[in-house]
């Protein structure tokens, strides 16, 4: 197919005409091939919008996580950390800490002096805190993963959508051969060239989408692990505090 397209472009050059641009090839393509190309272009634009947005969001989350952990281990007092939590609205670990601390404060306030002696808090209260932190962690990870599955969908389907456009273009080329009774490059070249553009557009949409999906998936997995580790550390601090009390 690439040889056919190369011969077609060489033939166009020999005639003294300018080779068609990509935009001209899209405009001159069959309606079905045009629909395929427009769909792939739309998917590619959407993927790049997601990539740019998620790059900013994930980097900001990782940066604020690191800053919040520095503050948490420096102060070592949950009440003092909570006073500064408004500065870490985009830190997933900060929001998990906030959920745990709010639940801890609620339980301590409800239990009163009994909570300070450890019995009720150790048996049931700490599990409520852990549940609140798990729920907050799930919300944060879901927010980070929003729209990322579209990248995987594009990476998996775009090559096949482009292949459909290619098959349709080749089918039209054979129909022209049958109608004209000629198999010259001037007859089949345009349709095959348009068909190959569909394949190229499918790959152009799929390759960045797959690479970006793998990148974001690995980054979010790291953040998820950090959330689990922090939750375990925070729960250990809470349990030690109430046992000591």
* Segments of 71-170 assigned E as strands: none
How sure is the predictor about 192, in pLDDT bands with cuts at 50, 70 and 90? confident
Measured CA to CA, the distance from residue 105 to residue 70 in angstroms comes to 23
**Helix, strand, coil % in the chain, rounded to nearest 5:** 90, 0, 10
- Distance set, CA 21 to CA 9, 39, 51, 202 (Å): 11, 19, 28, 18
Q: What is the pLDDT of residue 19?
A: 55
Q: From CA 160, how far away is CA 203, in angstroms rounded?
A: 9
Length of the chain in terms of residues written:
245
Return all residues near 44 (Cβ < 8 A) that are at least 6 apart: 154, 158, 201, 204, 205, 208
Confidence of residue 16 (pLDDT cuts 50, 70, 90): very low
pLDDT tops 80 at residue 14: no
Give the model's pLDDT for residue 11. 46
Instruction: Give the predicted TM-score (pTM) of the model.
Output: 0.78
Least confident segment among 68-72, 101-105, 117-121, 170-174: 117-121
Q: Which residue has the tokens 């985009």?
A: 90
pLDDT at 18 over 90: no
The 10s digit of each residue's pLDDT in 21-37 is 656 666 666 788 888 88
Task: Report the pLDDT value the prediction gives residue 115, as an integer from 0 to 100.
Answer: 43
Q: What is the CA radius of gyration of the chain?
A: 29
Cα-flanking dihedrals φ and ψ of residue 201, to 5°?
A: -65, -35
Condensed to tens digits (0 to 9), the pLDDT of residues 38-67 reads 999 999 999 999 999 999 999 999 999 999
């Amino acid at each position: 197919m690439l040889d056919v397209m190369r011969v077609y472009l060489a033939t166009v050059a020999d005639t003294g005409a300018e080779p068609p641009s990509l935009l001209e090839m899209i405009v001159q393509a069959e309606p079905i091939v045009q629909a395929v190309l427009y769909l792939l272009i739309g998917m590619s634009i959407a993927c790049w919008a997601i990539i740019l947005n998620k790059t900013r969001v994930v980097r900001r989350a990782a940066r604020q996580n690191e800053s919040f952990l520095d503050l948490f281990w420096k102060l070592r007092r949950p009440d003092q950390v909570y006073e500064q939590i408004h500065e870490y609205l985009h830190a997933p670990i900060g929001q998990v800490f906030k959920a745990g601390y709010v639940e801890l404060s609620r339980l301590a306030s409800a239990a009163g002096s009994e909570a300070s002696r450890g019995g009720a808090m150790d048996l049931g209260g700490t599990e409520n805190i852990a549940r609140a932190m798990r729920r907050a962690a799930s919300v944060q990870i879901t927010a980070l993963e929003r729209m990322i599955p579209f990248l995987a969908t594009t990476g998996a389907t775009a090559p096949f959508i482009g292949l459909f456009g290619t098959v349709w273009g080749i089918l039209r080329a054979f129909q022209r051969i049958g109608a004209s009774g000629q198999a010259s490059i001037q007859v089949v070249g345009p349709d095959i060239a348009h068909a190959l553009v569909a394949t190229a557009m499918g790959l152009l949409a799929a390759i960045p989408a797959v690479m970006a999906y793998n990148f974001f998936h690995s980054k979010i997995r790291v953040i998820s692990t950090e959330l689990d580790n922090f939750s375990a550390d925070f729960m250990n601090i809470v349990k030690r505090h109430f046992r000591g009390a």
